[in-house]
Amino acid sequence: FGITNTLKKFYENRLAEFIDKESKCVSTLNFKDTFFKCYNNNNAQFLKEFYQLDCDNLFLKNISLGIIKTSKNNDVCELFNDSLDDNVNHTLYSRIKHEFSFFQKKIDLNDIANMSWACPGCHYIQIIDSELYIVPRNAVGRFRNRPRSTKTMLQQVVDIFKSSIGDLEMFIQVQDAVQLRSRDLEKMRHNVPVFGYSKTHKEGPVGFWGMNPNGIILIPCFTFWIHEGPGLGRWRSLLETLPKVADKIKWENRIPKLLFRGARTGDRYWLTGIGERRNDSLLDIEFMEWKSGNRSRYYSDNSKTLEQFCEYKYLLHQEGWSYSNRLKYLMVCGAPVIYANFFEWEEHWYQLLKHDYNVLIFKDKYNETLFKNLTRSIVQDDKKAKLIGQRSRELVQKYLSEQAIFCYLRNVLIEYSNLFSYKPVKHPTAVKIDDYILSTDD
């Protein structure tokens, strides 16, 4: 943060005074100049804002000095890297190590030039001397909110962890599937990864959906900053408020049905068709028909708000033609989610999903009997259903908190910066992130 030694000493003294008061909402200091604080404690208002802890978050409110000091390398980010089942491959950061294992060679200038040409739809980012730069490009796609949200998150990470992130140049694509200039280029092995929100190792009729998945490094989806959909907005705010709204309805008073709303895309046809064809009291499954008009994209006569989703005991999530970022929102409700994962799309955190523990994964496409059996099995075991829902929310509150998202991005950037064989220099047309935010460019 560029804090002077005098100011740092001041913060440390104030922090010691604060801890002595034995506040129920723990604040702590670690990772150089990084501070924790709780939103609701005025005594902590002088602390830096990175680790603003919601005191109602069951994981975050129990963080203590002891946990920090005994964590690996005294690194606060290790708080988010424990395993759900003692399997080292089922941790938040395990994906980073695996994905970078496909990139063993050092990156040189020619590699960057080649990827710049191969991916005209990629956003070109530079981090040089702890400053974030955007290299303007003309063919970066139709999305506006996606790149702005991702670049804002990157800026937050650079500001917080600047001394630990080396110089680098990176290419980010914000489409649902990472695509290069041609199918031939997508099949090739490249020395430079493309960073994206999702990928799948499952091949379609013509091969992989876009770029070979081993050439993609996953980063947190843009929705972890902000989503322009109705009733969504800032992820951090939603993660604080939605559990409180959901818990106003006791578990036993929730609607005992499986709920789904979605557009008629991809393999949703047969699954949502089950709900439309059958007169089944357990199912509330319908397609959504978007209305025309200024607000059309988000509204349908049978649509439901996220708060209304949380009124149901059981929820269904299924992707369309590509990945859907809705899963994490449903999990916040604290209801068990049946995840129809036919195309096996992955986000950066999906290695934490465990069938029959924090989610119910259904892969038997077109098998209505098995789907019905899975639905009835969870309905008939109310105690198990409630427990899976609780674990589902706990996963999101801990591993998808804004703190964990920033830590994940930090670790990705550190790992990536170690691949460079040269010191990147500022591109002639590059602009600082602050100037980019004020501009109208994407």
CATH number of the domain bearing residue 331: 3.40.50.2000
Domain span holding position 60: 5-80
What's the pTM value of the predicted model, to 2 decimals? 0.84
- Answer yes or no: do 392 and 416 share one domain: no
Mean pLDDT for 164-168 is 94
Which of 45, 80, 115 marks a domain boundary? Answer: 80
Q: Give the sign of the dihedral formed by CA 109, CA 105, CA 193, CA 182.
A: positive
Identify which of 186, 192, 190 has the alpha carbon closest to the alpha carbon of residue 206. Answer: 186
- Answer yes or no: do 34 and 117 share one domain: no
Whole-number Å distance between alpha carbons of 319 and 340: 7
Look at residue 170 in the predicted model and tell me its pLDDT.
98
Split at pLDDT 50, 70, 90, the class of 302 is confident
Whole-number Å distance between alpha carbons of 5 and 12: 10
In a domain, 136, yes or no: yes
If you search the block for the tokens 């934490």, which residue do you land on? 352
Q: Which two tokens stand for residue 104?
A: 């063993």
Look at residue 17 in the predicted model and tell me its pLDDT.
43
Other C-beta atoms closer than 10 Å to the C-beta of 244 total: 10
In a domain, 89, yes or no: no
- Answer yes or no: do 233 and 371 share one domain: yes
The phi, psi pair for 165, rounded to 5°, reads -105, 120
- Answer yes or no: do 380 and 233 share one domain: yes
- Answer yes or no: do 279 and 384 share one domain: yes
- Answer yes or no: do 319 and 428 share one domain: no
Whole-number Å distance between alpha carbons of 197 and 327: 14
- Answer yes or no: do 379 and 290 share one domain: yes
Is 270 in contact with 367 (CB distance < 8 Å)?
no
Split at pLDDT 50, 70, 90, the class of 230 is low
Identify which of 267, 281, 414 has the alpha carbon closest to the alpha carbon of residue 344. Answer: 267
Mean pLDDT for 342-364 is 94
Q: Give the pLDDT confidence of 66-77 residue by residue, as tens digits.
A: 455 555 566 778
Indicate the DSSP class of residue 249. Answer: S
Mean pLDDT for 289-317 is 76
In a domain, 24, yes or no: yes
Helices marked H in 90-144 — which ranges? Answer: 94-100, 109-118
In a domain, 88, yes or no: no
C-alpha distances out from residue 386 to 108, 275, 333, Å? 52, 23, 11
- Answer yes or no: do 388 and 416 share one domain: no
Is 155 in contact with 132 (CB distance < 8 Å)?
yes
Number of domains in the chain: 3
- Answer yes or no: do 421 and 358 share one domain: no
- Answer yes or no: do 382 and 414 share one domain: no
Whole-number Å distance between alpha carbons of 81 and 51: 16
Indicate the DSSP class of residue 281. Answer: T
3-state secondary structure at position 425:
coil
- Answer yes or no: do 268 and 378 share one domain: yes
- Answer yes or no: do 268 and 332 share one domain: yes
